[in-house]
Amino acid sequence: MMITWLPWIFFSAAAAILIWMWRDRKRSTSSSTHSDSGQPQISAGALRRKLGDLGDGWLRAASAGELVTACALESTLTHLRRESKLSPAAFERDIAPAIDRFLEYVQLLPASESHHHAHVGGLAAHVLETTLAAVRLRNGFLLPPGGTAEEIDELRDHWTYSVLFGALLHDLGKVVSDLRIEWVEKPGDKPRAWLPLAGDLVATGAHAYRVRFAPKFERDYQAHRKLPLLLLHRIVPSEALAFLGRQPAVMQSLSDYLSGEDALTSAIAPIVQRADQSSAARNLKNGSRARFPSATAVPLVERMRDAMRSLLADGSLPLNRDGAAGWIQDGAVFFVAKRAADAVRERMLARSEASDDGVPSSNDRLFDVWQDYQVVEPNPATGQAIWPMVVRGDDYCHSLAMLKFPLSALFDDPQAYPAEFAGRLEPQVSDRGGGDGAPGERKEGPRRTIREPRFARAGEPDAVAGSDDASPKPNLARSAMQIDVLRGGAEAPPTRPHPHPTTDTTRADPDYLDAEDAASAHPLLAEDGPVVPHVDVPDQAGEVSELALQFMSWLKAGLASGAIRYNEAGAMVHFVEEGMALVSPRVFREFVDQADDAGIGAGDGRRGAPASRVQREVIKAGWHQAAPGNSNILQFAVVKRGGALAGKLAAVVIRRPERWINPVPPNNPNLKPFDLFKNAEQAQAVFAGAEGAP
């Protein structure tokens, strides 16, 4: 009888053990912020309400797992895990704990009081967005600068750690410079000030915390700069620091950046800074406008909008007449740029209680704010805020530098829109946006013209008549500036190239490359600036799709604004003897990531699928240089300083780039056709002495 029951006893015991192991695994994975399995047991909205239900501004101290759910960070973390290209074991051991500790430090704090990511949980969202963007950018850089191919390969993970931790900690100083945080151990206790050096709120034993914003005169930005380095050992696991410590130069670069003392010389600084700018710009354009409950500062853009509305209401900005400040056309008002900016500044100063109440003294700063928040429409020819326009009335004609405001941005009720201008408003084509203008034309514009576009001369020789590879004229009404040019640091001025070239050694598919590429940098002349889109483009002579046109319009606008860098380390575009080299597939992926309204299908759901489609459409247009063997991809050898061969780059090369931009920048002398050489030894011998080539 006992023998009969033995199998059932063993089966029951085994089942109990399996159930216990499953529950233990579920409990452990539910506490991890980085588990790919399982679903959260509570929705993000419900958890946010739970964390904020104490009233009077108090928030419950939360675990890292709760914060991931409350801030909807799961997708960002999934992408970060994949884009880091680290092994799962390394990520779980070194990266995931650092993210957990960071989250428990920042809790639901905002990233700012009235600028980007000002909402509850904004700091966590901003920093993890920045970290993801930095890791993606890092994949386009070869570190260390000027290193050999062997060094670059051997130290890849070390530099990835450095970039990742630099991005993760870069804004940690805000918790002491901008915020004042108090906490209680249990309800009813007397609040105590939180000191970050004492540990995170969870480790401190806080039940709840409350946040207020420090007055500007109290904000200690020196502490902001120092705190990230001081907290490095608290956030980053000791195993990860030991791994970095095996390469002193890598560790020093991270320390330099986090300390703020030598941040500009750190190799990771340009990567993290571009990623930071990208996250901030994306949030300003498309992010939440909610603000932290205790915030008191009014966002600058709201003050500017209120000032503009009051100026329109009282007639201080007259419309649609000779001597007016603005003219109405096609659902938008075109304001004289300098006049509008000066008037808005004066109105804000008149309303301010203090003379230094955050009112910018520079018109460029006002233009930036309007463009950051999409209050003005950018000029599709340049991607900048200024529109050089010609105003033609019954008895007057003026050439003006203008700003284009959609009426919906200034008036809540369409019934209140002013009447349309009876004359004509036309884009002006001239050397530097100034126009040659007929005698008696009035010219107004900002004294600072750095943001005004430069145009090719009307009628300037463009392409050989009857050329069979002429490019089509883009439809500027559907401008590529509807595309969110952010990841490459669209709002930042063009950065100086690295003092040493970088590259990426990859294996190229004949038609499509799956690796992220970068090329060596050649120092640009000091006067070099953003390239300028050519205005007069010949009619098309081939099978050209709307998608190909959108891509080229986006590319032109990015080059003009400086958002897309060229001829430098990590750039997606290089100019070579054969034409304009577009690093593949990186430039096409970048376009897809930013082209929210470009009509690109999701393909099979992979990131590479729609990017491959864009590349095919550009190739079908017939603008590119074919490689031997009917390949559409050209291979280039990359030469670093000293003439050594550093690697290989693959690109789609657009012939005769003067059809698209003017002037065409000088060629990058560090790129040479790779197929000229049978092997790397021959290439290195030929490249010796390439330094300083014209």
The confidence score (pLDDT) of residue 45 equals 64
**DSSP label at residue 577:** T
As a whole-number percent, the residues of the chain with pLDDT over 90 amount to 24
**3-class SS shares of the chain: helix, strand, coil, % to 5:** 40, 10, 45
Burial tier of 618 (Cβ tally within 10 Å: 0-12, 13-18, 19+): buried
Question: Which residue would you say has higher pLDDT here, 216 or 541?
Answer: 216
Tokens 């990567």 identify what position? 271
Compute the radius of gyration of the chain from its Cα atoms. Answer: 28
Coil, strand or helix: which one is 31? coil
pLDDT classification of 169: cutoffs 50, 70, 90: very high
Average of per-residue pLDDT across 32-47: 51
Distance CA 693, CA 682 (A): 18
**DSSP label at residue 481:** G
Distance CA 424, CA 28 (A): 68
pLDDT per residue over 270-289, tens digit each? Answer: 899 889 988 888 887 777 77
By DSSP bridging, strand 179-184 and strand 208-213 are: antiparallel
The confidence score (pLDDT) of residue 296 equals 65
Distance CA 183, CA 620 (A): 63
pLDDT classification of 217: cutoffs 50, 70, 90: low
Q: Yes or no: say if 559 and 481 are a contact pair by the CB < 8 Å rule.
A: no
Q: Yes or no: say if 320 and 417 are a contact pair by the CB < 8 Å rule.
A: no
Q: Is the pLDDT of residue 400 over 70?
A: yes
pLDDT classification of 506: cutoffs 50, 70, 90: very low
| Average pLDDT value for the chain | 73
Q: Which domains does the chain have, with CATH numbers?
A: 40-286 (1.10.3210.40), 300-444 (no CATH), 476-687 (no CATH)
The confidence score (pLDDT) of residue 155 equals 94
Q: Is the pLDDT of residue 351 over 90?
A: no
Ordered DSSP codes for 141-164: S-SSTT--HHHHHHTHHHHHHHHH
By DSSP bridging, strand 208-213 and strand 58-60 are: antiparallel
Q: Angle of helix 74-83 relative to helix 122-138, nearest 10 degrees?
A: 20
Q: Which residues pair with 397 in a beta bridge?
A: 392
Select the highest-mean-pLDDT range: 121-135, 207-221, 497-511, 558-572. 121-135
Ordered DSSP codes for 77-144: HHHHHHHT---HHHIIIIIHHHHHHHHHHHTT--S-SSSTT-STTHHHHHHHHHHHHHHHHHTTS-SS
Q: Is the pLDDT of residue 12 over 50?
A: yes
Q: Is the pLDDT of residue 389 over 50?
A: yes
The confidence score (pLDDT) of residue 357 equals 59
Q: Is the pLDDT of residue 421 over 90?
A: yes
Select the highest-mean-pLDDT range: 189-198, 231-240, 621-630, 666-675. 231-240
In 3D space, the residue among 619, 627, 537, 519 whose CA is nearest the CA of residue 573 turns out to be: 519
Contacting residues for 393 by C-beta, under 8 A, at least 6 apart: 321, 322, 421, 422, 423
